[in-house]
Amino acid sequence: MKESEILPTKYADMPDQIVAGEGLWKGRLLKFDRLKSTNEWAMEHLDFCRNGDVVWAVRQTTGRGRLSRSWLAPDDRGLTLSVVMTGLKQDETVPVLGQIAALAVRDTLEEYSIYGRLKWPNDVLVNGRKIAGILAEVDFDRNSVVLGIGVNVNMSEDDMESARLARSATSMLIEGGRAFDIDSVRECFISELERAVEYVVLDGTSHVADVWARYDWLAGCMVEIRGTMGTARGKYAGLDGRGRLRVIDGQGRERVFWAGDVEKIVLGR
Ligand code: BT5
């Protein structure tokens, strides 16, 4: 980042630095040395944010996941940021933004020779362990979406162990066998996301389910889905064109879910 483009800010609760041109679509990078949650800050400061701003916390202390769950990011070792998008048409694009972000994370990892798979609604897994999570929040009144992304970059097995995530979580360091430069990972992710969002804006969302299917961790599995609208068990049938999960239940009926948690059913146990 060029020194001349860094503008220090002087207000409490405002970014420590604002860097022009390093956000999405050459938007601003709003950099915090420490922040409770980039999503929380962005949602509370939408009047300050512009389309394409990226809120980045070097240290995020109380990151949030979906459904009031928490997101672990030990000091300096995770990438934690939120992308602000405003003025989006309230069409089919908004519900698939989380999936587009997951695809962009997967593409980013591939740049570093780490090969991720996707798990609905928008997790990225490597060897069955979660390496990145995404939280999309919408403010309908302001016509804005805050897309929060957490990527485990340099977390060790010990970090995962102490957070009781040893079996369920992994990191770029664990999978790649070396430490990675978080600035480069961030820059790579922003350009992958830019590309993916532009594709959808120009071409619509119909291709998202097809691209997702190439890397789908649940493909061919029996699953149990606990959605906001009930529970179902059955054969996983991929995503539909609107990003919803499809399951064929025991009676052969197709059920679709907008949101929820899905797990593979291991038969014979
Ligand atoms: C998510 O929720 O996966 C969304 C995570 C989004 C985090 C980003 S970081 C930047 C932005 N600012 C925020 O405050 N949040 C976003 P969910 O699917 O509910 O998964 C949460 C669950 O994953 C937790 O209950 C843990 O079991 C597990 N978990 C927590 N931290 C993890 C980590 N670092 N790696 C893998 N799994 C983790």
Of how many residues is the chain composed? 269
pLDDT tens-digit map of 3-33: 446 666 666 789 999 999 999 999 999 999 9
Q: pTM here?
A: 0.95
Q: Are 254 and 243 in contact (CB under 8 A)?
A: no
Provide the pLDDT confidence category of residue 1 given band limits of 50, 70 and 90. low
- Adjacent-strand bridge partners of 223: 234, 264
In the reported structure, the alpha carbon of residue 187 is separated from the centroid of ligand 1 by a whole-number distance in angstroms of 21
Task: Name the residue at shortest CA distance from atom 16 of ligand 1.
Answer: 148
Question: Among the residues of 65-133, which ranges form H helices?
Answer: 97-111
* Domains in the chain with CATH codes: 3-214 (3.30.930.10), 222-264 (2.30.30)
In the block, tokens 């009144």 appear at 141
pLDDT tens-digit map of 43-83: 999 999 999 999 999 999 999 999 999 999 998 899 999 99
pLDDT tens-digit map of 136-183: 999 999 999 999 999 999 999 999 999 999 999 999 999 999 999 999
- What's the pLDDT score for residue 7? 64
User: Ligand 1 pocket, 80 CB below 6 A?
Assistant: yes
Q: Which amino acid is at 45?
A: H
Distance CA 110, CA 246 (A): 27
User: Ligand 1 pocket, 257 CB below 6 A?
Assistant: no
Q: Is the pLDDT assigned to residue 269 strictly greater than 60?
A: no
In the reported structure, the alpha carbon of residue 82 is separated from the centroid of ligand 1 by a whole-number distance in angstroms of 13
In the reported structure, the alpha carbon of residue 73 is separated from the centroid of ligand 1 by a whole-number distance in angstroms of 9
Distance CA 56, CA 111 (A): 21
